[in-house]
Structure 1
Amino acid sequence: MTKSSQSTISRRTMLRGLGVGLALPMLDAMTPAVAAAEASTQPQRLIAIQTNQGILPKYFFPEGEGHDYKASPYLQVLDNFRERMTVFSGVSHPEVDGGHEAEQCFLTAAPHPGMGGFRNSISVDQFAAERIGHLTRFPSLALSVGTKRSLSYTQSGVQIPGENSPSRLFRKLFVQGSKQEVEAQVAKLRHGRSILDSVGERARQLGSRVGGSDRAKLDQFYTGVRDLEKRLHKSEQWEQQPKTKVEMAPPRDFDDPGALIERTRVMYDLARIAMETDSTRLISIFVYQNDAKPNIPGVDTGTHPLTHHGNQPEKLEQLRRIEEAQFRELSSLLSSLDERSVSGGSLLDTTSVIYGTALGNGNSHANNNLPVLIAGGGFRHAQHLSLGGNGDYPLPNLFVSVLQRLGLEADKFATSTGTMRGLEFI
């Protein structure tokens, strides 16, 4: 670029001068994506779940391929949903390594999380929330079990704190605040809109000081500001509307460190009812396990120590008991979604439920051949898709398929190479 009389202006400098930090959504294809979502007569939803200590491969992966596979012990727990789910083998996140460090990349696929200076990228749920989140009271929910961390990351790679309190989540979803509380929240939203007004005005003023190319970029920036203002306005409208009333009794929190299954169960219940009431259409759930002994018969050790089993039968048996209990909770979640009717079928038919882990083998800390399945969502299921002999088929291809199912015009996410091969819409 040749020098001219025009001064060089940094976008970052402009934002600092206004005393605010502004993270814009992606702008390309936003309008068509939103239009597609709004036009849908049957809203699609996503629940993405990760358990952080891996899943024993020998009890997860089935024998055979296609529709005639022989279910593994864990898949037998989900036998009622064999026709409504697809199991994958041979998938991974390309360039995601680092053992346990990879858990933060399950929904982002950002490479090399164990390296110094690592910066995460946007998670698939937040990618969708930027485009369709305004359609519901809560653009997305980042839930967690046993931790305050989450699977959800913003466009700038910042982790969204996980909500790990069932009682607090219930109040957030279904308990109407006082008139004063609502007014205070509306005031905050209006303040945010006034800041964006200042940002937009500053962008317009700069337009007279830059060349044509930079002016086009500022126009795009200004469009992004206007879109954010619309989202804040929509949030203000939601604040002034009564929350949905539900028959579910307010859940209690668990102080017991061993209440892994109990916490998981209540979070799954709240996720289901949040979807049923259309409070949100995008949920991530991080099931975090550590050294605490879970309250499961026959288990006397925490999950993490058991993952370093060294193939000792007694440790493998205890770990299997823990993971089978988790698959039973997953089965209950799928059942509860299937029991709720919505236009055109059940809630499960319109909800893509992804379940898996970024740790392919907890004993060896391997990050390839990840145990992952998807249920519901209106896909053609009842199959085992074996996709990579070396466990190197990109899992983000599944995310592209789900984004398209959500009504978004997305053909790329993270390290994807297309949609998930063999997974088709009904």
Structure 2
Amino acid sequence: MSIRSTSRSQLSRRTVLRGVGVGLALPALDAMTPAFAKSTDAVGPQRFVAIETNQGILPQYFFAKGEGERKQTSPYLEILKPFRDRMTAFAGVSHPEVDGGHTAERCFLTAAPHPGRSGFRNTISVDQFAAERIGHLTRFPSLALAIGTKQSLSYTQSGVQIPGEDSPSSLFRKLFIQGSPEAVNAQVKKLRQGRSILDSIGERSWQLGKRLGPADRQKLDQFYTGVRDLEQRLHKTEQWELKPKARVEMDPPQDFKDPGALIEKTRAMFDLTRLAFETDSTRLISIYIHQNAAKPNIKGVDTGTHPLTHHGNQPAKLKQLRLIESAQFEELRNLLAGLDDSRTGGHSLLDETSVFYGTPLGNGNAHTNTNLPVLLAGGGFRHSGYQALGGHSDYPLPNLFVSVLQRLGIETDSFATSTGTMRGLEIV
């Protein structure tokens, strides 16, 4: 009997887990592979913010009409007119195989297929895919922000949702308020304890490797490499804990208990997003704008967003829904303006930030998940203002994620159901 066969018969899975000091299933190790990233270009470090508004966007007010020189703008894109040469709105894109109406919300940054089916398990979101590779470069590898919910758009390698931060005041403290020396020392102690545990696991996995065959030893070596890499990340986090946080000239924002403060909450989170990027506290942010039955504090609106999306083409409901969505596009315009006004190393922060905005519903009234109204602004891309990519669902939106990942300096040519990079989106 070969050594390999003997090893398999002697070692159960429980024995292996005990051997490395773990009482649970081994984690997915590809989330721990060493980071690899290109050096940044002359413009500077690149950033990415992904924003989802969950109740759809009225397509008749988003998509441009006509073709070529006769192509007209749209009411919503007209709001963003100051940035027409720094953004591209897309038509004819969607996530292949993502269906299920509102259940598609959780797949906006993952593109995991069929979220409405029983037994669905999500996959990693594009921001976390990037965070695994470049997150160590900043104090916070990523931020998952939320408006109107405590959920988020961000999912780990194993498909677990990261809780959303919905409190502007808590986010401000996290970003910019230095803890007391006692609190900092306590956190550093926890991190060092974690590194000590990983040291023990690594040593036990090395000892266990002596009892395995070549193939299993190779797998365990990969696990050991992952443990060592995670230990390095903990060490990096410890170093950040010992460094003072960035200081900003801004009073701590207030929290909003009013459920109708949709626009006010959005403005506060957008302002903190800009500050987080300005201070290089993070380079990756997701923002989940979750609208429900609460009536927004917008003049002319007397109904909640969700009920209005079931408009049945009634003019009165469409008018109110357009008021809500127009207000949201105005806040997006203000975010772009704030990034554009901010300079880092002589460059506009907007040129260093890919701003992805859109919805998982192509038509909120019909609950379709095709022909999604989405746009990308900034990032130093050569934008076209508007890009019609044919059809209503045949062009994969994950291609856009590949382009953004490459712009972030991450060496990858695929993500989820992508087929390449985004057509017509080139780096200047």
Bin of the TM-score, shorter chain as denominator length? over 0.9
Percentage of identical aligned residues: 70
Deviation at 1:384, TM superposition (A): 1.5
- One-letter code of the match for 1:310? G
Alignment partner of 1:361 is 2:363: yes
Partner of 1:287: 289
Q: Aligned pair 1:18/2:22, yes or no?
A: yes
Q: Select the residue among 95, 98, 105 that pairs with 1:96.
A: 98
* Alignment deviations for residues 316-372 of structure 1 (CA, whole Å, 9 cap, x no partner): 000000000000000000000000011252000000000001111100000000000
Partner of 1:162: 164
2:304 paired residue number: 302
Residues 174 and 116 of structure 1: CA distance in aligned 2, closer, same or farther (over 3 Å):
same
Please give the alpha-carbon distance, in whole angstroms, between the structure 1 residues aligned to 2:149 and 2:329: 20
**Contact (CA 8 Å) 1:150, 1:284: kept in 2 or not?**
yes
2:278 to 266, 276, 279: 276
8 A Cα contact 1:108 1:120, kept in partner = yes
Aligned pairs (5 A) from 1:196-211: 196-211=198-213
CA separation in 2, counterparts of 1:385 and 1:38? 27
Structure 2 equivalent of residue 195 of structure 1: 197
- Structure 2 counterpart SS, 1:292: coil
Aligned CA-pair RMSD? 2.0
Aligned to 2:63: 61
Residue pair 2:140, 2:282 contacting (<8 A) in 1 also:
yes
Kept after mapping to 2: 8 A contact 1:65/1:386: no
Give the conservation status (yes or no) of the 8 Å contact 2:32–2:229. no
The 8 Å contact of residues 23 and 155 in structure 1, kept in 2 or not, is answered as no
SS in 2 for 1:151: coil
Query: What's 1:136 paired with?
Result: 138
Matching of residues 409-420 of structure 1 within 5 Å: 409-420=411-422
Specify whether residues 67 and 127 from structure 1 end up closer, same or farther in structure 2 by C-alpha distance, changes over 3 A only.
farther
> Residue 138 of structure 1 contacts residue 279 of structure 1 at CA under 8 Å; is this kept in 2?
yes
C-alpha distance 334-256 of structure 1, shift in aligned 2 (>3 A):
same
Give yes or no for contact 1:110–1:121 (8 Å, CA) kept in 2. yes
Give me the whole-angstrom Cα distance separating, in 1, the residues matched to 2:140 and 2:405. 18
Against the structure 1 CA distance between its residues 138 and 42, is the aligned structure 2 distance closer, same or farther, given a 3 Å change threshold? same
Q: 1:265 to 1:392 in 2, by over 3 A?
A: same
Q: After the TM superposition, which parts of structure 1 deviate over 6 Å for at least 4 consecutive aligned residues?
A: 10-13, 38-41
- Separation (CA, whole Å) in 1 of partners of 2:16 and 2:173: 39
**Do the aligned partners of 1:95 and 1:111 also contact (CA within 8 Å) in 2?**
yes
Q: CA deviation at 1:214?
A: 1.8
Which has the larger displacement, 184-193 or 3-12? 3-12
Q: What is the alpha-carbon distance in structure 1 between the residues aligned to residue 70 and residue 32 of structure 2?
A: 42
Could you tell me which residue of structure 1 aligns to residue 5 of structure 2?
Answer: 4
- Measured against aligned partners, the alpha-carbon deviations of 1:41-82 in whole angstroms (never above 9, x if no partner) come to 710000000000000000000124568742100000000000
Paired positions, count: 424
Unmatched tracts of structure 2, length 5 or more: none
Identify if the C-alpha distance between structure 1 residues 12 and 376 changes in structure 2 by more than 3 Å, giving closer, same or farther.
farther
CA-CA distance at 1:180 after TM superposition? 1.2
Query: Which position in structure 2 is the counterpart of 1:329?
Result: 331
Q: Is the 8 A contact 2:32 2:230 kept in 1?
A: no
Matches within 5 A, 1:9-408: 9=11, 14-15=16-17, 17-19=21-23, 23-24=27-28, 26=30, 30-31=34-35, 33-34=36-37, 36-37=38-39, 42-65=44-67, 69-343=71-345, 345-408=347-410
Work out the CA distance in 1 between the residues paired with 2:284 and 2:225.
25
- For the residues of structure 1 that align with 2:87 and 2:43, how far apart are their CA atoms? 23
Q: Normalised by the size of structure 2, how large is the TM-score?
A: 0.95
How many Å apart are 1:10 and its aligned residue? 6.4
Matching residue's letter, 2:248? V
Q: 1:226 to 1:54 in 2, by over 3 A?
A: same
Moved more, 219-228 or 193-202: 193-202
Deviation of the 1:212 alpha carbon: 1.4
SS of 2:96 mapped into structure 1: coil
CA distance in 2, matches of 1:62, 1:185: 52
Once the two structures are superposed, residues 224-266 of structure 1 have per-residue CA deviations (whole angstroms, 9 ceiling, x without a partner) of 1111111100000000111111101100000101000000000
Residue 157 of structure 1 deviates from its aligned partner by 0.3
Give, as a single letter, the amino acid of the residue that structure 2 aligns with 1:95: E
Alpha carbons of structure 1 residues 132 and 332: separation in structure 2 relative to 1, 3 Å = same
Amino acid at match of 1:157: G
State how far apart, in whole Å, the 2-side matches of 1:131 and 1:12 are.
Answer: 31
Bigger CA drift: 9-18 or 198-207?
9-18
Q: 1:366 to 1:293 in 2, by over 3 A?
A: same
Instruction: Report the Cα offset of residue 390 of structure 1.
Output: 3.0
Cα deviation digits, residues 351-409 of structure 1 (max 9, x gap): 00000011111000000000000000000013321113132211000000000000000
Report the Cα offset of residue 22 of structure 1.
5.8
Partner of 1:370: helix, strand, or coil?
A: coil
